């Protein structure tokens, strides 16, 4: 796996788990929000797989505008440190 893909996987993993806990969602309800199976969501949250572009877009769509901008800003900072 490329370093950039691994960076995205790790970052996305931490963001979806933090979002799920902040919103008080179960893994099942988070999977529904992202239009994926519960098993696929669990694999994402545990770092066993990386998100698809569609899953990433559904996640960004569930964030407020400010949260979405913060997500992108924080990822850009991680890229710069790479």
pLDDT band at 1 (very low <50, low <70, confident <90, very high): low
State the first-to-last Cα distance of the chain, in angstroms, to the nearest integer: 15
Q: What is the pTM assigned to this prediction?
A: 0.89
Q: Report the pLDDT value the prediction gives residue 81, as an integer from 0 to 100.
A: 86
Length of the chain: 82
C-alpha span between 64 and 52 (Å, rounded): 21
> Is pLDDT at 82 greater than 70 in this prediction?
no
The answer to whether the CB of 16 falls within 8 A of the CB of 44 is: yes
Q: Within a 13 Å sphere around the CA of 68, how many CA atoms are in the beta-carbon half?
A: 10
- Across all residues in the chain, what is the average pLDDT? 94
Quick: pLDDT tens for 23-74: 999 999 999 999 999 999 999 999 999 999 999 999 999 999 999 999 999 9
Q: What sign does the dihedral 56-40-30-12 (CA atoms) show?
A: negative
């Amino acid at each position: 796996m490329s370093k950039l893909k691994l960076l995205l996987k790790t970052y996305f993993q931490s963001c979806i788990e933090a979002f799920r806990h902040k919103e008080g969602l179960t893994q099942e309800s988070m999977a529904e929000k992202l239009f994926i199976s519960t098993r696929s969501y669990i694999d994402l949250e545990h770092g066993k797989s990386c998100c698809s572009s569609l899953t990433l877009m559904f996640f960004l769509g569930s964030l407020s505008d400010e949260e979405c901008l913060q997500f992108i800003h924080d990822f850009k900072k991680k890229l710069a440190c790479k």
